[in-house]
Amino acid sequence: GGPLSPARAMLAALPLLLPAALPSISAADPAPYDHTHLYIADCGTDKYQKPWVPGGPKGHITIGGFNVCMDNGQPFGGEGSVVQVYTCHPLSDDEINQGWAFGDDGLLRTTQPGNRCVSINDGGTAFLTSKCDQKWVLSKEGEFIHESTKKCLTAQDPGPPIELPKLNIIPGEIFSWGGSSGGDMAIQFHVAFSKHVNGVCGNDAQPYHCAVTYFPNDYLLPQTNESGVPYCYKCPDGMTVLYDKCKNHPQHVDVGMLPDYPRRVCGDGGKPGCIDDAANIYDDYVYLSRGECRTYIGGAEVNTLAMYGMMTTDPQTQLKYVDKCAPGAHSTDDESNCISHLFGASPKRTLKPPVNYANGRVHTFDMTPFITDVNVGFEEQGYIYIPKNCQNGTTACHLLVHFHGCGGLQGVQQNRTVHCYAESNNIVVLYPRIKKTNNVSRTYPNSYEIARGCWDGYGQLSEDYALQSGKHMSIAWNMIAHIAGIE
């Protein structure tokens, strides 16, 4: 009984207005990336338009059966906040920026204070405003249809994996970056490939080759088939060192010995396939930080800093270290610090402020053509962020290679800080990946850390783990050489 509301009347007329709808998202489709803005598009043109499911716990609205929720981003509920998708917060979380109310009035409101509603700007992008003058209809198929334009609220389709492209990368403008296990890998990569990799950011990172090097004050253990450090440099025969000694017992590290291995292992000047000439590091910029305050006592990062202090010409300018665990230390953003130091401190480069929203695209790409050993833990797909200016090859761009920490990498946020800097400074960001759980231990029995999604920072795959020929090192380099066109 009773007349239809304007919104319901519009819905009743929709079959006459809409083209044949595409199938909904299937279980085989990837989830939308975190921090991707929502926008409107012609209904039926994208399967990431449905089903939206409102009325979830704490007002959650999910998309496509994924653990992905409608979310409001910066300024987080304030006027003009972006409307995006993001991994659903746990029910125990006290954040309220994923709470929404949708009723018969056709308004899609945030439950945060301020009485703001989802609206569409002139560019077709969703945002929050207190005007609350734009209405929506939820179709039977789960589409949110914008009443005035008859278009559907859409999440960006991640798309199928692409072939890793060849891009216009500036020679000498490749950088490595990572935290924890990824920080160890970033340091290794910088030192070993210093001819091409000209700067590094390492968070909670130990010095190069430290984990397997015997120092005079180190504890020694009998070498066994279960040793976490299966190859030891300078150990007595049949002996090895403690696993993770450089992070747990940094006071035993002879800092003066740290530059010796990269300078001498392959002879003066280095050689291809082994290690590049350590003299390449003389003018490089390095950002280091400590953020793991419970597991490690902090000396590992200081020792890494000291190592680079002996390998650079102006350590006061070229090196930056932030101890986020120090008494009275303030919270700091490693991504912003990393880019600001590599690009803002170096006279070679000019740093531009980050954009508010990264308009490039995160792609998955096929890593299999570059994997020379399928038994060392790699995923089949990696991620790459390509700024708009870098996509057609006409603009010369920088390349930043990110190595994740233990546990693998299960997704990349579209609008993370580094991508906002990447967009304004023409930086391609590459994310090679190790599986969170893999079968590496069947072939390499000592590979406990790699089996849980870590990079090889302890020689668990091979004695040459920190050289260009190392299993993880060489495969990551295959991808970089392809992107940058390096023979």
Q: pLDDT tens digits, residue range 186-221? A: 999 999 999 999 999 999 999 999 999 999 999 999
CA distance readout (Å), 69 to 31, 124, 403, 408? 11, 20, 27, 23
Peptide bond into 51 cis (omega under 30): yes
Is the C-alpha dihedral spanning 116, 117, 120, 125 positive or negative?
Answer: positive
Residue 355: pLDDT band with limits 50, 70, 90? very high
Residue 164: pLDDT above 60?
Answer: yes
Cα gap 260→231, rounded to integer Å:
18
Q: Please report the pLDDT score of residue 242 as a whole number.
A: 96
Confidence at residue 487, expressed as pLDDT on a 0 to 100 scale: 87
The model's pTM is 0.81
Average of per-residue pLDDT across 318-332: 89
- Please, which pLDDT band fits residue 37 given cuts at 50, 70 and 90? confident
The pLDDT confidence band at residue 24, using thresholds 50, 70 and 90, is low
Least confident stretch, 165-174, 262-271, 417-426? 262-271
Query: Is-contact 134 118, C-beta < 8 A?
Result: yes
* Count of other CB atoms within 10 angstroms of residue 436: 17
